[in-house]
A and B are shown apart, each in its own frame.
Chain A
Amino acid sequence: AQSVTQPDIHITVSEGASLELRCNYSYGATPYLFWYVQSPGQGLQLLLKYFSGDTLVQGIKGFEAEFKRSQSSFNLRKPSVHWSDAAEYFCAVGPYSGGGADGLTFGKGTHLIIQP
């Protein structure tokens, strides 16, 4: 069965510093990979996704992520964080490439705190 691990439950970063959120997955085929962000009391917003091609993908709000098949990782990065980036971040892996709407498997999330 597929799974997603986000090893860090909480991360604290100073405003203006760089950020890397870790995501490791277990998947039996070529994965579709996603990062979502959730602001307090809100639904999830898609930041970026990978499904094929260039392993470095760019997303909204200045985020990027790199797919590394050999490490089964899809880490999210941002060169300089802003206070508005404080939120919960979720990594997710897509369903089997054979199709079928069997949902996404989500990690448990990383709570990002921004220090002034």
Chain B
Amino acid sequence: DVKVTQSSRYLVKRTGEKVFLECVQDMDHENMFWYRQDPGLGLRLIYFSYDVKMKEKGDIPEGYSVSREKKERFSLILESASTNQTSMYLCASSRPADQETQYFGPGTRLLVL
């Protein structure tokens, strides 16, 4: 089974802090994604990556950056956390040959005070 893990289930940070959310997948998938999920808005794509050191902006990249130094790991960085970044963050991975089927991690619920 594909396993996607996220470093924290719950995280509390203060405004202005630098925040790192880590995601690791164990199935050698080429593609990795970061979404945020908010009530009434569904899932929105922040960034994705289709190869090591490659990244592409999604629909809402402002205030975020990403890093992919190794194939299995995709990090989401909030350079200076703000209260409007309080949300559920979901990581996913996929393999192009699998009709882009995405497999999700359990999510990180981030609260920025």
Contact = CB atoms under 8 A, between A and B. Distances in A.
Interface residues of B, number: 29
A43 interface: yes
B45 interface: yes
Interface string B81-113: 000000000101010100111111111010000
Given A101-B49, A103-B33, A94 B42 contact: no
B101 A43 contact: no
Given A108-B41, A108-B42, A109-B42, A99 B105 contact: no
Contact of A101 (B94, B106, B109): B94
A101 B48 contact: yes
Interface in A65-116: 90, 94-95, 99-104, 106-109
Contacts, number: 60
A45 B104 CA distance: 7
Given A90-B43, A107-B42, A102 B48 contact: yes
B82 to A, nearest CB: 24
A100 B30 CA distance: 11
Contact of A106 (B4, B42, B100): B42
Contacts of B50: 100-101
A77 B102 CA distance: 21
Given A42-B106, A42-B107, A106 B43 contact: yes
A46 interface: yes
Nearest to A106: B43
6 contacts: A43-B104, A99-B96, A101-B31, A101-B48, A103-B33, A108-B42
Interface of B: 4, 30-31, 33, 35, 40-43, 45, 48-50, 56, 58, 90, 92, 94, 96, 99-107, 109
